[in-house]
Amino acid sequence: MKKVILIAISLLVVASCKTDDQYEDLNRDPKNPTEVDADFLFNAAVKSLFDQMTSTNVNLNVFKLLAQYFTETQYIDEANFDLTTRNIPQGHWSEMYRDVLLDLQTAKQNVMDDVELTEGEKNARIAQIEVLMVYTYQQLVDTFGNIPYSESLDPITYPLPAYDDAATIYGDLITRINAAIPNLTGSGFATDNIYGGDMEKWTKFGNSLKLKLGIHLSDVDAATAKTTVESAVAGGIFESNEDNAILEYSSATPNTNPLWVDLEQSGRSDFIAANTIVDVMNPLNDPRRAYYFKDNIRDSINTDSVIYTGGIYGDKNAFGDYTQLGTLLYEPTFRGDILDYAEVSFYLAEAVERGFNVPGTVEDHYVDAITASIMDWGGTEDEVMDYLANPDVAYATAAGDWKAKIGTQFWIAMFNRGFVGWTVWRRFDVPTMNIPVDTENPVPFRYTYPVNEQNLNDTNRVDAATAIGGDEQSTKLFWDVN
């Protein structure tokens, strides 16, 4: 918030110093433009969004720890759910508001002001921006609960923005995505690092995001959930891994995958596979273990036999004594991913179980989701067939009700997308998470509001905290009622 206020002050100073148009050009430094190109801002926001959702930097993103895919070695505060010592909520809040949403908002205004663009080109670019803004706002709601929304991104008018009701925000996000999708046509941003200008794929992305918004409402507003999901599916959603919303990273800094920065370039050995996920995957003989994890531990007698042993969650773990993270995660060019076909297929399986009118059977979508996940990680068709033939995996024979079956496989599939994995646990209550050894703190249901909000915008923060039932990690979000 402090940075937002500083931006507001800077803008006010600039406005107060502005001269007549004939003198304005004389005061411009051509090497430091006052208006940044919309394409640049759009792609800067794209990279910031992917980086933030991909990173495992403990100052910014601990979602892989909350989902208990990773655990730590020497420094274990985050695995014990101490999110305030490093002010992790502030890091995430600032990245998403300042480096994603504010850049997108400015890009939108610059598109609208660009006299060289046709009306169709403006509409297409604004629609692309809207899809990413809807994605980002939903992510913030699903992290914090009530957040600044209607008064956000306007620091001059609202230097201390009020917080909006989370369910109301969801409703408006559905309205916004509905308005954006028809305009995802023609010519969008010239430099599009997600889909390379393919607006058909952007339409699928928009509808798949709409599907996600709808399915999250299932337990609190079944009628809206049903109409939203059915409309999204009818409009055309992801059909294969070819539609995934990914960012291809490069081998050269600063455009490498941030995981490589955290795991390899740092020279540190802070993270290993958590026993939580290893102990779920081992009994299933899950083929993705060979991709998620390294084969650094071998049977002492049969050295050709790999043993997967996750580190004790929340304890200090010797790096060499436990299964380490897979080599793909150490590759600078490993792709970033914010929405994929596996995730969408699990939502479709859930939609069928909830009685929504979508094509296919629950088993069809369940199989599609697992297949997409294994193949996306480099697995083979034989591995897929063997895994799905396992009675503990096959939909008809796997243990538990539909939430346990879908939720467990959904959680496994989201290994590199910690936020979604954490959200799957919050929505389905599976798998059973470990209590961290050091503090025995419960798994959080949300981030608490950033310290800067307490210091600078506390009246609005207190109102928001009261409305959601307390600014605590144990406070559940509005859609988490079961």
pLDDT higher than threshold 70 for residue 11: no
Task: Tell the CATH topology of 2-18+39-252+335-468.
Answer: 1.25.40
- The radius of gyration of the chain from alpha carbons, rounded to an integer in Å, stands at 23
Lowest mean pLDDT among 21-35, 67-81, 323-337: 21-35
Q: Write down how long the chain is.
A: 482
What 3-state DSSP class applies to 247? strand
pLDDT value at residue 145: 98
Average pLDDT over residues 47-67: 97
160 exposed, middle or buried (CB, 10 Å; 0-12, 13-18, 19+)?
middle
Nearby residues of 150 by Cβ (< 8 Å), 6 or more positions away? 162, 164
pTM of the predicted model, to two decimals? 0.93
pLDDT value at residue 35: 67
Q: Domain coordinates of the chain in residue numbers? A: 2-18+39-252+335-468
Distance CA 168, CA 173 (A): 9
Which residue, 277, 425, 416, is CA-closest to 337? 416
Distance CA 431, CA 69 (A): 12
Q: How many CB atoms lie within 10 A of CB 299?
A: 10
Tell me the DSSP string of 190-213: SS-TTTTT-HHHHHHHHHHHHHHH
Asked whether the beta carbons of 191 and 247 are under 8 A apart, the reply is no
pLDDT higher than threshold 70 for residue 21: no
Q: How many CB atoms lie within 10 A of CB 421?
A: 23
Distance CA 60, CA 65 (A): 12
pLDDT value at residue 71: 98
Tens digits of residue pLDDT in 394-438: 999 999 999 999 999 999 999 999 999 999 999 999 999 999 999
pLDDT higher than threshold 90 for residue 5: no
Enter the tokens of residue 274.
């958590």
Q: How many CB atoms lie within 10 A of CB 173?
A: 21
pLDDT higher than threshold 60 for residue 128: yes
Nearby residues of 331 by Cβ (< 8 Å), 6 or more positions away? 257, 260
Beta bridge partners, 274, equal: 311
pLDDT higher than threshold 90 for residue 363: yes
Distance CA 96, CA 153 (A): 11
pLDDT value at residue 4: 41
Which residue, 360, 357, 379, is CA-closest to 370? 379
pLDDT value at residue 300: 75
Distance CA 225, CA 270 (A): 41
What is the rounded average pLDDT for all residues in the chain?
A: 93
Which residue, 197, 445, 195, is CA-closest to 339? 195
Distance CA 49, CA 103 (A): 11
Percent of the chain exceeding pLDDT 70 equals 93
Tens digits of residue pLDDT in 291-313: 999 999 988 777 778 999 999 99
Beta bridge partners, 19, equal: none
Average pLDDT over residues 8-24: 34
Q: Where are the beta strands (DSSP E) in 243-302?
A: 245-247, 271-273
Distance CA 205, CA 134 (A): 12
pLDDT higher than threshold 90 for residue 319: yes
Tens digits of residue pLDDT in 144-169: 999 999 999 999 999 999 999 999 99
